[in-house]
């Protein structure tokens, strides 16, 4: 795909870009920021998307700015019905309330509602000579790609239509020939678009044709590609910082070139490293640990998943591991972002969930909801009617077993004797009874019953 790429090392970069590298000491915003989370509604929100949303949200809260939710749904063929609504619901579950977004704010936040805006700006680039119409057929483009690949070259458009005269273009338009609009990419060697400072990866230098092919901006159906839509929207929505996955790092020179072509100031970029499975493979929506809904269904508290997600690529200044959302809002910093890939591990998440569950049970504002949740779970696990499971008994059981619970759904298995006659014929019960002389069994059970009754009253 790319013929040549040189990413300067930190040491080389500091020499090559002394001005930019010097900015590393002052990467924290000094004024209110505007940030956005811009997912595509092609399925359920995954853990990597939640992290991107969280870091943008925390940056806005930490520095007194606005957090915007923008739905990038221009690729209509890949849309999943209900996915956009699911994304909103997941963010609300996590407590990441956006300041502007669908149903909230003065703008249109679905890109499919902004097609006229993109076509207007594509025409502006055509008028400036920064873009051109391409009438090449799909078959020609496929043949070109096949030929370049066979020759060991990276596929790239050959600018076959870049030099068409105005007369030729008018004739083709009158004939109704389908066409796209391509950016007229600047020469990489003559452009500063490939030289930029990334908050996470520091000073970057993409040389040669890397990221500088003549990308399609408007498709033949008049819909924008990601490259045009996200640049136009970031400018019109006054985005100051773009925190997104590092899979977009290679496209940044292209986006910066578009900002330059429009005469706009580009935002600051921070490209977040990938999340990995324990086996070293990339975490994706198709992994069991990918979709956020899987964690919700498994019984994790929003506080613990948010806490865990924040530590996937961000290092606080202290050894503290347990954070509430409010504490994260007060502690988050761009300087704490890591370039290292993070491995997703349920073991650490389980530990965090136990800590947050314990804290929630001690909080009167949260414990009532957890008691009702556990009550329904006990009824389902025991086969009892929910009405026969007393809330007072559940509350007592949660207090007694709280330190051992990872999820409220574990309550019945932890203390089944509190919700019915104890099963003394189980292996575990037999082993426990062996340790106690027979003559003490009944007195102990009577004492336990009395103690529990006293606890409830």
pLDDT at 203: 87
Give dist(CA 283, CA 289) in Å, integer: 8
Instruction: Read off the pLDDT of residues 93-132 as tens digits, 9 standing for 90 and up.
Output: 999 999 999 999 999 999 999 999 999 999 999 999 999 9
pLDDT band at 25 (very low <50, low <70, confident <90, very high): very low
Q: Which has the minimum average pLDDT: 109-113, 171-175, 223-227, 436-440?
A: 436-440
Q: Tokens 């996200």 appear where?
A: 230
Catalytic residue among 108, 219, 285, 341: 285
pLDDT at 288: 66
First and final C-alpha spacing in the chain: 72
Average pLDDT over residues 82-91: 97
Give dist(CA 354, CA 325) in Å, integer: 16
pLDDT band at 400 (very low <50, low <70, confident <90, very high): confident
What does the mean pLDDT of the chain come to?
87
Give dist(CA 336, CA 258) in Å, integer: 30
Instruction: Read off the pLDDT of residues 140-185 as tens digits, 9 standing for 90 and up.
Output: 999 999 999 999 998 999 999 999 999 999 999 999 999 999 999 8
Average pLDDT over residues 232-258: 95
Angle at 329 between CA 21 and CA 59, to 5 degrees: 40
Angle at 204 between CA 200 and CA 206, to 5 degrees: 140
Backbone angles phi, psi at 43, to 5 degrees: 160, -170
Give dist(CA 137, CA 421) in Å, integer: 76
Backbone angles phi, psi at 211, to 5 degrees: 75, 10
Give whole-number Cα distances, 5 to 21, 188, 192, 202, 249, in Å.
20, 11, 15, 16, 12
Could you write out the DSSP letters of every residue in 162-194? TT--HHHHHHHHHTT---EEEE-PPPGGG-STT
Q: Is 254 a catalytic residue?
A: no
pLDDT band at 205 (very low <50, low <70, confident <90, very high): confident
Give dist(CA 341, CA 113) in Å, integer: 36
Q: Which has the minimum average pLDDT: 335-344, 356-365, 443-452?
A: 443-452
Among candidates 113, 304, 312, 316, which has minimal Cα distance to 223? 113
Look at residue 160 and give its three-state secondary structure: coil
Report which of residues 400 and 364 the model is more confident about.
364
Give dist(CA 16, CA 202) in Å, integer: 12
């Amino acid at each position: 795909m790319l013929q040549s790429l040189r990413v300067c090392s930190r040491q080389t970069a500091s020499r090559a870009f002394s001005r930019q590298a010097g900015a590393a000491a002052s990467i924290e915003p000094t004024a209110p920021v505007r940030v956005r989370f811009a997912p595509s509604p092609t399925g359920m929100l995954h853990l990597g998307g939640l992290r991107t949303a969280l870091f943008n949200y925390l940056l806005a809260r930490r520095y007194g700015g606005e957090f915007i939710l923008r739905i990038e749904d221009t690729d209509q063929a890949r849309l999943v019905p209900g996915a956009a609504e699911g994304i909103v619901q997941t963010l609300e579950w996590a407590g990441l309330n956006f300041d502007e977004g669908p149903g909230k704010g003065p703008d249109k936040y679905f890109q499919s509602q902004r097609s006229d805006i993109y076509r207007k700006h594509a025409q502006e680039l055509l008028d400036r000579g920064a873009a051109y119409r391409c009438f090449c057929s799909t078959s020609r483009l496929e043949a070109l790609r096949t030929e370049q690949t066979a020759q060991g070259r990276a596929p790239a458009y050959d600018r076959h239509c870049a030099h068409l005269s105005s007369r030729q273009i008018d004739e083709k338009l009158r004939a109704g020939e389908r066409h796209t609009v391509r950016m007229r990419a600047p020469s990489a060697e003559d452009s500063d678009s490939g030289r930029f400072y990334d908050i996470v990866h520091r000073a970057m230098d993409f040389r040669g044709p890397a990221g500088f092919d003549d990308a399609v901006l408007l498709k033949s159906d008049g819909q924008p590609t990601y490259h045009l839509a996200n640049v136009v929207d970031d400018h019109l929505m006054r985005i100051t910082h773009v925190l997104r996955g590092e899979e977009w790092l290679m496209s940044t020179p292209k986006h910066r070139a578009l900002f330059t072509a429009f005469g706009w100031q580009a935002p600051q970029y921070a490209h977040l490293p990938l999340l990995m499975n324990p086996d070293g493979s990339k975490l994706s929506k198709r992994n069991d640990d990918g979709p956020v809904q899987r964690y919700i269904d498994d019984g994790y508290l929003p506080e613990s998943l948010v806490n865990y997600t924040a530590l996937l690529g961000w290092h606080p200044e202290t050894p503290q591991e347990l954070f509430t959302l409010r504490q994260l809002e007060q502690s988050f910093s761009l300087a704490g972002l890591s370039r290292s890939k993070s491995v997703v591990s349920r073991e650490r998440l389980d530990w965090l969930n136990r800590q947050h569950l314990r804290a929630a049970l001690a909080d009167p504002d949260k414990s009532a909801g957890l008691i009702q949740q556990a009550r329904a779970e006990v009824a389902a696990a025991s086969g009892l009617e929910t009405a026969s499971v007393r809330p007072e008994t559940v509350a007592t059981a949660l207090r007694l077993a709280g330190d051992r619970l990872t999820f409220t759904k574990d309550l019945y298995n932890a203390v089944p004797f509190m919700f019915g006659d104890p099963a003394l014929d189980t292996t575990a019960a037999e082993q426990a009874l062996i340790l106690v002389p027979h003559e003490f069994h009944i007195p102990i059970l009577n004492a336990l019953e009395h103690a529990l009754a006293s606890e409830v009253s």
